[in-house]
């Protein structure tokens, strides 16, 4: 009988409101101290971009009475505009992400402020991971997640914009299917799938900005980066 992995996915309740300069790892460790929420070695801790941006002070004052006041920021944070329709801008950010409004939005931020993406969300993930490891004694991988749209399909899904302690792409080249044939579609974006799984327990309205995914195969842990491993170079991209 095959040993099938079994995942548990749960949100961390009791995270405080996050402000610039706050110690995210300490806040996560505190929320994880609640019975039933304890972190374990080998867990993946998924942290939404918004609280990372807030903790890192990536907030910009905007006119609170103008719902489009963040649009000039979108242009400033973009290295390339791919599409415009009405007020919607799809652009490429300095990180290489292609998303709406350069990842900037006004939800779950104090009125009068817009939150930019972290400068380097792989580094953000590493800092949280290192702090959880060295100060709180738990060896977890960290994913920083954000909510992106995509072409061709309606609706948004959460993806990984930063990782630490996790290889974001599981490369199955050289492995074989159940018929013994070598697999051709071989690079699975497991960090994005983990971010999506976490979103299912976080929601957009529920005030649960951190979730834990438990049961990920140990082979997926290791050194990796969204920027280096997931972002597709424009030259390799058929749609840029």
Exposed / middle / buried, residue 130 (Cβ in 10 Å: 0-12, 13-18, 19+): middle
CB 53 within 8 A of CB 59: yes
In the complex with a second copy, which residue's Cβ is closer, 134 or 154? Answer: 154
Q: Does the protein bind a second copy through residue 6 (CB under 8 A)?
A: yes
Binding to a second copy by CB under 8 A, coded x per residue (else -) over 127-166, reads --------------------x--xxxxxxxxxx-------
Window 26-55: residues binding a second copy (CB under 8 A):
none
Single residue of 190, 224, 225, 227 touching a second copy by CB under 8 A: 190
Of 22-30, 73-81, 130-138, 170-178, which segment contacts a second copy by CB under 8 A?
170-178
Q: Does the protein bind a second copy through residue 196 (CB under 8 A)?
A: yes
Cα-based distances in Å from 163 to 4, 41, 92, 193, 229: 25, 16, 19, 13, 10
Give the DSSP letter string of 166-215: B-SSEE-TT-B-TTSPBPSS-EE-HHHHHHHHHHHHHTTTS---EEEEE-
Q: Does the protein bind a second copy through residue 80 (CB under 8 A)?
A: no
Single residue of 106, 125, 140, 166 touching a second copy by CB under 8 A: 106
| Residue 211 beta carbon to a second copy: minimum distance, rounded to whole angstroms | 8
């Amino acid at each position: 009988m095959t040993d099938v992995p079994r995942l548990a996915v749960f949100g961390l309740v009791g995270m405080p409101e996050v402000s610039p300069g706050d110690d995210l790892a300490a806040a996560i460790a505190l929320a994880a101290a609640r019975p039933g929420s304890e972190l374990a070695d080998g867990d993946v801790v998924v942290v939404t971009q918004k609280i990372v941006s807030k903790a890192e002070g990536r907030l910009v004052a905007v006119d609170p009475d103008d719902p489009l006041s963040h649009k000039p920021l979108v242009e400033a944070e973009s290295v390339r505009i791919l599409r415009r329709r009405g007020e919607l801008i799809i652009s490429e950010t300095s990180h290489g992400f292609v998303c709406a409004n350069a990842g900037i939005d006004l939800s779950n931020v104090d009125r009068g402020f817009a939150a930019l993406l972290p400068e380097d969300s792989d580094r953000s993930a590493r800092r949280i991971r290192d702090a959880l490891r060295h100060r709180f004694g738990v060896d977890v991988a960290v994913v920083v997640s954000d909510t992106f749209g995509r072409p061709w399909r309606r609706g948004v899904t959460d993806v990984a914009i930063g990782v630490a302690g996790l290889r974001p792409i599981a490369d199955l080249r050289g492995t074989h299917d159940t018929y013994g044939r070598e697999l051709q579609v071989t690079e699975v974006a497991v960090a994005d799938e983990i971010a999506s799984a976490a979103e299912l327990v976080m929601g957009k309205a529920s005030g649960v900005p951190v979730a834990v995914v438990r049961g990920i195969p140990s082979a997926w842990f290791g050194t990796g980066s969204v920027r280096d491993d997931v972002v597709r170079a424009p030259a390799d991209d058929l749609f840029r």
